[in-house]
């Protein structure tokens, strides 16, 4: 059996060939994967049944067992998802800038694949199909490590993808499956072969990845998102936005965890909010509790808590600046929203709040790759390097500078008789 280092080395070699493949070859390979998922559905379902049986015998909670289900319509949905990735524009080979430096000396900034992506996910089996299809479309090799609870399903899906893409002309070794925690630790040490790690899972899991590798990591550990209701807000609108941000789906990173309310509207707004969300536990500051008696007393830790549950921290603030200061101190730089009737306040909020997604008069739940029109999403990043916010195909490419000359040498551009640069835009 190949070591993780061997698999990473093979992936690195394959990535050089993969980067040069034209779009039609990659799209044909993706079409072959979609077809293979359909034609080999019985294999997938048998493996998935074994995973589910093992999970039930191990006493895994029923909701988690349900998440493992990958049969029937879910297999078809994955096949359709692969076809939709094939239909997306190729993110590689796009010219971002073009400039003439001098006659016959032209510079182009062109998108290229990252190289080798390490994807570690605690998720449903369909994540393996989605991630591998995005990497193939963007010309990247990939090392995949899924959750142990879906080991049999992941193994069959991996074999299907290897077979389908190999027959379609994709280089051998472009995709590899890791199957143990030891494999993950080994992968995290391979900075010479792997260009980017993308972890998807719990806060503790993502932090472990970030703390144990020198490879760049694209992701986020926490989703402490805020809604700030300003003094000029339409209160009916604010109730709807706050309720949706908190309750539309609580167990996700873009759900609101803290509500900030300007003191001028707190007396009128908070009772309306409480009535609209009777199922939500409120943990408030003293001013909040004076207005909404059912609110529990908030501790300092509540302001930085990611509940992922029907719990909301609530604080009354005296000013716009106090709200921003709170968000920048306690937030996770993920998604934060302001509800206000004043455009200038919204624009200022967006300028000074240090988050990947900032919103005006809408729910934090909109921060999602599909809703942004990015297509399938590999993850959400709160970093300020490379990609930020929901990351789709564009997050799997970087750029390269390509200079086309006709015999020029730098010596001609130095000294008392130096030639000048034109630096003329070409398009």
- Domains of the chain are 4-217+378-400 (3.40.605.10), 225-366 (3.40.309.10)
For the record, the structure tokens of 56 come out as 């039930």
Q: Which residues pair with 317 in a beta bridge?
A: 262
Q: Which of 132-136, 187-191, 386-390 has the lowest mean pLDDT?
A: 386-390
Mean pLDDT of 341-350: 97
- Of the candidates 178, 181, 180, which has an alpha carbon nearest to the alpha carbon of residue 194? 178
Higher pLDDT, 205 or 92: 92
Q: How confident is the model at residue 1 (pLDDT cuts 50, 70, 90)?
A: low
**Per-position b or e across 364-375, b if 16+ CB within 10 A of its CB:** bbbbbbeeeebb
Q: Is the pLDDT of residue 49 over 80?
A: yes
Mean pLDDT, to the nearest integer, of 316-339?
97
Closest by CA to 199, choosing from 247, 127, 299, is 127
Q: Please check the confidence at residue 75 and state whether its pLDDT lies above 90.
A: yes
When pLDDT is cut at 50, 70 and 90, the band that residue 63 belongs to is low
Residue 222 has pLDDT above 90, yes or no: no
Q: pTM for the whole thing? A: 0.82
Of residues 277 and 368, the one with the higher pLDDT is 277
Average pLDDT over residues 271-280: 98
pLDDT at 319 over 70: yes
Is a pLDDT exceeding 90 seen at residue 66? no
| 404 close to 99: Cβ distance less than 8 angstroms | no
The mean pLDDT value for 200-207 works out to: 81
Residue 162 clears pLDDT 90, i.e. is over it: yes
Q: What is the mean pLDDT of the chain?
A: 94
Q: DSSP code of 309? A: S
> Do 326 and 315 touch, CB atoms closer than 8 A?
yes
Q: Looking at the predicted structure, is the pLDDT value of residue 122 above 80?
A: no
Tell me phi and psi for residue 404, to 5 degrees: -105, 115
Q: What is the rounded average pLDDT of the residues 147-158?
A: 95
Residue 314 has pLDDT above 80, yes or no: yes
């Amino acid at each position: 059996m190949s070591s993780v280092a061997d698999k990473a080395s093979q992936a690195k070699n394959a990535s050089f060939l993969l980067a040069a493949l034209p779009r039609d070859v990659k799209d044909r390979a993706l079409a072959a994967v979609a077809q293979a998922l359909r034609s080999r559905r019985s294999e997938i379902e048998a493996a998935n049944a074994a995973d589910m049986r093992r999970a039930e015998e191990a006493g895994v909670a029923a909701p988690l067992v349900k998440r493992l289900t990958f049969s029937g319509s879910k297999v078809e949905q994955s096949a359709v998802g692969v076809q939709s990735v094939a239909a997306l524009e190729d993110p590689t080979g796009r010219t971002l800038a073009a400039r003439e430096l001098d006659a016959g000396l032209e510079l182009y900034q062109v998108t290229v694949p990252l190289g080798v992506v390490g994807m570690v996910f605690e998720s449903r089996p369909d994540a393996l199909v989605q991630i591998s299809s995005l990497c193939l479309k963007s010309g990247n090799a990939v090392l995949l490590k899924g959750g142990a609870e879906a080991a049999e399903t992941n193994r069959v899906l991996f074999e299907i993808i290897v077979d389908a893409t190999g027959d379609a002309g994709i280089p051998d070794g472009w995709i590899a499956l890791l199957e143990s925690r030891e494999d993950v630790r080994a992968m995290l040490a391979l900075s010479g072969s792997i260009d980017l790690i993308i972890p998807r899972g719990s806060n503790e899991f993502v932090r472990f990845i970030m703390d144990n590798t020198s490879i760049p990591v694209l992701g986020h550990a926490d989703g402490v998102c805020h809604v700030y209701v300003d003094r000029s807000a339409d209160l009916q609108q604010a109730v709807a936005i706050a309720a949706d941000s908190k309750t539309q789906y609580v167990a996700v990173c873009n759900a609101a965890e803290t509500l900030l309310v300007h003191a001028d509207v707190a007396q009128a707004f908070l009772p309306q909010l409480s009535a609209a969300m009777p199922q939500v536990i409120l943990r408030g500051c003293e001013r909040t509790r004076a207005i909404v008696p059912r609110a529990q007393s908030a501790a300092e830790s509540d302001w930085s808590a990611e509940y992922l549950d029907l719990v909301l921290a609530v604080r009354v603030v005296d000013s716009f600046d106090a709200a921003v200061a709170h968000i920048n101190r306690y937030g996770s730089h993920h998604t934060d929203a302001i509800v206000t009737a004043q455009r200038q306040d919204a624009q200022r909020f967006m300028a000074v709040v240090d988050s990947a997604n900032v919103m005006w008069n809408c729910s934090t739940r909109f921060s999602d790759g599909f809703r942004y029109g990015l297509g399938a999403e590999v993850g959400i990043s709160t970093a300020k390097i490379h990609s930020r916010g929901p990351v789709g195909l564009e997050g799997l490419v970087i750029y390269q500078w390509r200079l086309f000359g006709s015999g020029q040498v730098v010596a001609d551009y130095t000294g008392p008789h130096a030639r000048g640069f034109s630096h003329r835009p070409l398009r």
